[in-house]
A = this chain, B = another copy of it.
Amino acid sequence: MSTTVSPLAPKSVPELKPVPGVTFTTVAAGIRYKGRTDVLAMAFEPGTTVAGVTTRSLCPSAPVEWCRELLKKGKAGALVVNSGNANAFTGMKGREATSLTADLAAQAFGCKPTEVFLASTGVIGEPLDANKFEAALTEAAGQLVDWPWLDAARAIMTTDTFPKLATATVLLGDVPVTINGIAKGAGMIAPDMATMLSFVFTDAPIAADVLQKLLSKGVKTTFNAVTIDGDTSTSDTLLLFATGTAKERGAKTVKNIDDPALKAFKRALTELLADLAEQVARDGEGARKLVRITVTGAVSNKSARRIAMSIANSPLVKTAVAGEDANWGRVVMAVGKAGEPADRDLLSISFGDIRVAHEGARDPDYDETAVSDYMKNDVIDLTVDLGLGRGTDRVLTCDLTKEYVAINGDYRS
């Protein structure tokens, strides 16, 4: 496991103010390890609405199935996040554990079990003993605070090398509201898989169905446009909670996605999701370079996304970036294998502002020295123009280094 902070970490950690209606604490339940906090518990003001998106995996964890069911009602009273055990691939026992955890949290925080959201990361295939939550959640209920958020962000880290936080203050109509978000990235808990979790909170009063529309739209260009290694976790969960406490300061409840009062909020939420998603890419396992891949001129935006993902998930493109090699031949390869419309003789490829290939051949003006210098940067912009249509997309990834292999393969060496 890496103990040094990613060289791509943001230079400073933002300061997050309280979100009225949200309190939290961290406690030790002894799920897997002794003597460390392993549970983040959060309690929400009655009336809090919630939206969420979860992994597309067809073999999801028990907490993911639990959240999917609860999201149908859109009401939240509490959130319990544990590390040390993912409660994935645990069969009927896994379902029993989620149900028991929700009962215990409901008792501790005074809400309904069907309003308790759950997320777990850690070892998979091991039954999770939810009885361990009883004392821990009772303790948690007695020590809830609304600050500092850095503690909450740190509590959900596993092998992340830095805590991931983002915040925005924005007008909802004419009332200022806060949006706070935290995330954990693609880290490992031996011997398990990468998991992405993110939780976003606001005091804005927004109906659950509107919140879901906002979130579903927001993830398309942010979290769903990030790939570290193309491996989709069984546990990926992103939840957005709205306590509605800004009503006390005059905010009107938003019940329609087209409400003009939402305009600034929409933009701020998408920016915040993009910020957190970029932090996840910056902390990809073994990452030394952040790679922003932009595809233009595709036959559709969907086609552009598939081509961008084909490039972003190509081991040969990612190792070339790690080697500071502007290997556009591998980019051509990744375009060609994507299975989407592409005409070799119309392709243009640029690294930063330097066009290396144009109309299906090496750009005659391409300066090898300039592009070599460019590849030494921490952030690499790779642009591919297909010259076919108006479809465009952007995805984020990182390079593939020996450290990635070490982190994921060195258990027994």
Q: Write out the residue numbers on chain B whose beta carbons fall within 8 Å of the beta carbon of A10.
A: none
Q: Interface extent on A, as a size class?
A: 35 or more
Whether A411 pairs with B325 at a CB distance below 8 angstroms is: yes
Residue of A89, A90, A410 most packed against chain B (CB within 10 A):
A89
| Contact among B328, B344, B406 with A402 in the assembled complex (CB-CB below 8 Å) | B406
A194 at the interface (CB under 8 A from B): yes
In the bound complex, how far is the Cα of B59 from the Cα of A400, in angstroms?
A: 24
Q: Write out the residue numbers on chain B whose beta carbons fall within 8 Å of the beta carbon of A322.
A: 405, 409
Q: If A58-B342, A89-B329, A332-B59 touch, does A404 touch B232 (CB 8 Å cutoff)?
A: no
In the bound complex, how far is the Cα of B61 from the Cα of A344, in angstroms?
A: 9
Q: Write out the residue numbers on chain B whose beta carbons fall within 8 Å of the beta carbon of A232.
A: 333, 336-337
In the bound complex, how far is the Cα of B405 from the Cα of A233, in angstroms?
A: 23
Whether A408 pairs with B319 at a CB distance below 8 angstroms is: yes
Whether A329 pairs with B58 at a CB distance below 8 angstroms is: no
In the bound complex, how far is the Cα of B313 from the Cα of A313, in angstroms?
A: 10
Q: Report the minimum CB–CB distance from A343 to chain B (whole Å).
A: 8
Whether A124 pairs with B329 at a CB distance below 8 angstroms is: yes
Question: Which A381-407 residues have a C-beta within 8 angstroms of B?
Answer: 399-402, 404-406
Q: If A328-B125, A405-B405, A410-B323 touch, does A231 touch B56 (CB 8 Å cutoff)?
A: no
A266 at the interface (CB under 8 A from B): no
Q: Write out the residue numbers on chain B whose beta carbons fall within 8 Å of the beta carbon of A234.
A: 332-333, 336
Q: Which chain B residue lies CB-closest to A335?
A: B59
Q: Write out the residue numbers on chain B whose beta carbons fall within 8 Å of the beta carbon of A360.
A: 89, 91
In the bound complex, how far is the Cα of B229 from the Cα of A412, in angstroms?
A: 23
Whether B323 pairs with A409 at a CB distance below 8 angstroms is: yes
